[in-house]
Amino acid sequence: MLAMLTFQAIFMIAVSPAANGYVRGQAYKALYATILGPFFLTILLMFVSGLTLQERPGAKKRYEKNNHWEEYSRYLNRTSILIPFPPQIYEKLPTILKRTVFLEFPIYVFDPAKHSDAGKGQRAAEEGDGHKPSTTSTNNRQSGDQLVSSGA
């Protein structure tokens, strides 16, 4: 977040001569075209490479290894991802406010019921969905399976 604000501040400082009339012609147009840089960087950090690669996978790793998950879960519920805000107040805010004003989009939030791999193999074994070979039809063969004839 700090990097995004820094780039936007640098842009505002760079554009101020154009706003005051010191720059004219093509340089004037190029200076205002530089607004795309901070917006592009913000979009990259928020939706492509920054938060999406850090927040959910980090929480998933802590949950699956049980690395102080209870404390970390409380920290996540009390701390804004992008905009600094007092934890005591942020914790009590409704989800809709966190998603709209504080930009805590669902792509950043880890939900153990939806995103955890821990216990999926165990659940499949308990439900009987394990790796059972299918004997009802020969059309269910997978590539690499041998065709076995059942005659003498």
Domain ranges of the chain: 2-48, 52-113
Identify which of 80, 73, 71 has the alpha carbon closest to the alpha carbon of residue 59. 73
Tell the residue number behind the tokens 């041998």, with chain if given: 146
The CA-CA-CA angle for residues 109, 74, 3, to 5°, reads 55
At 92 the pLDDT is: 94
Q: What percent of the chain has pLDDT over 70?
A: 74
At 91 the pLDDT is: 93
pLDDT digits (tens, 9 = 90+) for 83-112: 889 999 999 999 999 989 988 888 888 888
Q: What is the pTM of this model?
A: 0.57
Q: Is-contact 3 49, C-beta < 8 A?
A: no
At 151 the pLDDT is: 53
What's the average model confidence in pLDDT over 8-15? Answer: 77
Q: CB 138: neighbour CB atoms within 10 A?
A: 10
CA 72 – CA 70 distance, rounded (Å): 5
Residue 48, pLDDT above cutoff 70: yes
pLDDT digits (tens, 9 = 90+) for 18-39: 777 777 778 777 777 777 877 8
| C-alpha dist (Å) from residue 85 to 5, 104, 134 | 16, 13, 56
